[in-house]
Structure 1
Amino acid sequence: MALYDLFLNNAGRPIHKSGHYFFAYERHFSRYVGQPVNFLEIGAGNGGSSQMWKRWLGPLARIVTLDINEVCRQYADEQVHVRIGDQSDEGFLQSVIDEFGAFDAVLDDGSHHMQHVTASFDYLYPRIASTGVYMIEDMHTAYWPDYGGGRGDPRSMVERFKGYLDELNAEHVRDHSVTPSDFTRSTVAMTAYDSILVFERAPLINKAMKMIGDQTLRVNY
């Protein structure tokens, strides 16, 4: 795992990550390695992670990092762009989109508070690239009341994720208790890991059911 190697051998600015996250990172973000990707990182930390993403994704990657702490401006370089603002502020988020365009990938490693996580997702997810990936990490905090979460608490992003599973499959709900939405039509996959939630978009999702082959060989049960 090349990204994990970069993490383990980091001698620059500190990077604070759980080891098992790298399986998810490589699984969902490896498609962008060596490609001209527009990558949004919410939460600058100590500046080490943006350098890790730059080294892994390559010279065609543009890394945009958001943080509320002015000191994070020092982490900017020729590929890393730092913007200071509140991740739950729609006006701020729109200004970032206006400046850099739609993002191909978003990694929310920001405050981890539910009100911020959900606000960022609600605004950004419909506005990322039609083939984009949206990942939220450190979602163990969704179970912590002091972060606005708790098991069964509707404010929790994990609880919302469970509801989005129904919305993903809304076209199959026969009692019409869930209505197909833009989320239904644009989301091709959702993946949950310990502490990580991932949403993947697609511009076309072919759901037509077909039977292919010699119909004379069909067996009716």
Structure 2
Amino acid sequence: MRELARVLARGKRSEPQAYLRAYHAAGVLARSISWAPIPLWRLLQGFRSDKHMPGWHRYGHTYGALFRRFKYRRVKLLEIGIGGYKASLGGHSLLAWQAFFPRGTVVAADIVPKQALGGGRRRVRQLDQSSAEDLAELCRQEAPFDIIIDDGSHLSAHQIQTFEHLFGALRDGGVYVVEDVQTSFWPGRVGGSETEWDGAHITDPRFRQTCYGYFLELTKYLNHAEFVERRDLDARMLALAQDITRIAFEHNLIIVWKGENRYPSAFVGRDAAPAA
């Protein structure tokens, strides 16, 4: 395991074939330990995913609690974006998912062709998340899903479009996660990044157009049954909210739970309020 971790950690400094050999060996290891009750954060860290790594993110504890109920089910997890900018790089989180879900299927999609990282219960597709056609084709080929994780471009426009296209492909009771939403707060280039981020300051009216601003607005619609007036509503958000039971915000994460939310109000639309 140490040698596998060393090669995986070297990433772009490794020869492509050496990386792929180590990666597929790690896939065998992932399958062999998948029935063991190993905490998800340890698996993410052990397989060198930046989802839980010193100096990076701390998603592992949240994911461990969030996905615990799925562990021994025949779940189908979709991850958009799997790291690295070369065909022979990335995919660390896929190994962790494979090690955590012994009966699960992991589908990954990346703008870079990384089909060589597939194998076993891992399927890897090439996809541009800015393309509605690519997202629709993904749904036709692979839906439905129990868990969807967007770790793609981190551009708000892409995150919003991906959610609106893929949420319908999520099963009732499923979970949709948008990672790395810190970019919603980044206008332009930040921290030496070469990417021109489409974020905004929280007092800027344009913040509402960011991914974070979008989901803050969507939370209002979870109480759509209590709206006394139905004018000037966003029909798109109103439709989505009828299948959302909860939205949670954590540091750099947005989590959405899918389920029926069509129950009528106990008060609005009734002739008289119940007695106190």
Question: Counterparts of 1:137-148 in structure 2 under 5 Å?
Answer: 137-146=179-188, 147-148=197-198
One-letter code of the match for 1:154? R
1:155 paired to 2:209: yes
Question: Counterparts of 1:32-51 in structure 2 under 5 Å?
Answer: 32-45=70-83, 46-51=90-95
Deviations 1:127-178 (A, max 9, x none): 3212221100100111111221112423211101111011111221223354
Identity level (%): 23
One-letter code of the match for 1:200? W
Per the alignment, in what secondary structure is the counterpart of residue 134 of structure 1? strand
Larger deviation: 114-123 or 173-182? 173-182
Larger Rg: 2
For 1:158 and 1:209, the matched residues in 2 are separated by 31
Per the alignment, in what secondary structure is the counterpart of residue 27 of structure 1? helix
1:167 paired to 2:201: no
Structure 1 counterpart of 2:100: 56
1:9 paired to 2:39: no
Deviations 1:2-54 (A, max 9, x none): 001112333xxx42124431232123222210111111001111111101011
One-letter code of the match for 1:50? L
Q: Say if 2:41 and 2:59, in contact at 8 Å, map to a contact too.
A: no
For 2:256 and 2:164, the matched residues in 1 are separated by 12
**How far apart are 1:190 and its partner, in Å?**
0.6
**How far apart are 1:207 and its partner, in Å?**
6.0
Q: Say if 2:106 and 2:122, in contact at 8 Å, map to a contact too.
A: yes
Pairs aligned (count)? 207
Query: Which of 163, 176, 190 is the aligned partner of 1:134?
Result: 176
One-letter code of the match for 1:15? S
Task: Give the TM-score, by structure 1 length.
Answer: 0.85
1:92 paired to 2:134: yes
Taking structure 1 as reference, are residues 91 and 179 closer, same or farther at Cα in structure 2, changes over 3 Å only?
closer
Taking structure 1 as reference, are residues 208 and 168 closer, same or farther at Cα in structure 2, changes over 3 Å only?
closer
Per the alignment, in what secondary structure is the counterpart of residue 169 of structure 1? helix
For 1:67 and 1:8, the matched residues in 2 are separated by 21
Structure 1 counterpart of 2:60: 22
Task: Give the TM-score, by structure 2 length.
Answer: 0.69
Q: Say if 1:104 and 1:133, in contact at 8 Å, map to a contact too.
A: yes
Deviations 1:108-135 (A, max 9, x none): 1111011211110111112321222110
**How far apart are 1:209 and its partner, in Å?**
5.0
Gaps of 5+ in 2: 1-37, 84-89, 189-196, 268-274
Q: Say if 1:66 and 1:83, in contact at 8 Å, map to a contact too.
A: yes
Per the alignment, in what secondary structure is the counterpart of residue 74 of structure 2? coil
For 1:131 and 1:198, the matched residues in 2 are separated by 13
